[in-house]
Amino acid sequence: MSEMNKVDSVFSIEYRKLSGEYGSKNRCCLRPSSNRLNEVKRYNRSGLLKLRNLNEGGDFEVKIDFLLKFNGQGIDFLA
């Protein structure tokens, strides 16, 4: 998932919502920031990814622990 932190990186994600439903976004990126390193540290502390949906143009947040797939690859947080 370090690919997510690259400047101008566009990726797809699948995730579980708080309601238990599943969601996915095909083209998203990290919200623009003047200091990406500080943002990454903040994400790690808060547990939230602040993303932008490039298809629909809106911003959204996803809990890191609720991510299931990144660019079609399953995520194993225990590895």
The one-digit pLDDT tens for each residue of the chain (79 residues) are 567 777 778 999 999 998 999 999 999 998 877 665 666 666 667 888 889 999 998 999 999 899 999 999 998 876 5
Which residues, listed in sequence order, are joined to residue 51 by a DSSP beta bridge?
Answer: 30, 60
Q: Name all contacts of 37-46 with Cβ < 8 Å and 24+ positions apart.
A: 40/5
Q: What angle do CA 32, 35, 26 make, to 5 degrees?
A: 30
Helix-then-strand count for the chain, H and E: 1, 6
Domains delineated in the chain: 2-74 (2.30.30)
Q: How far is CA 21 from the centre of its chain?
A: 17
Q: What is the pTM of this model?
A: 0.77
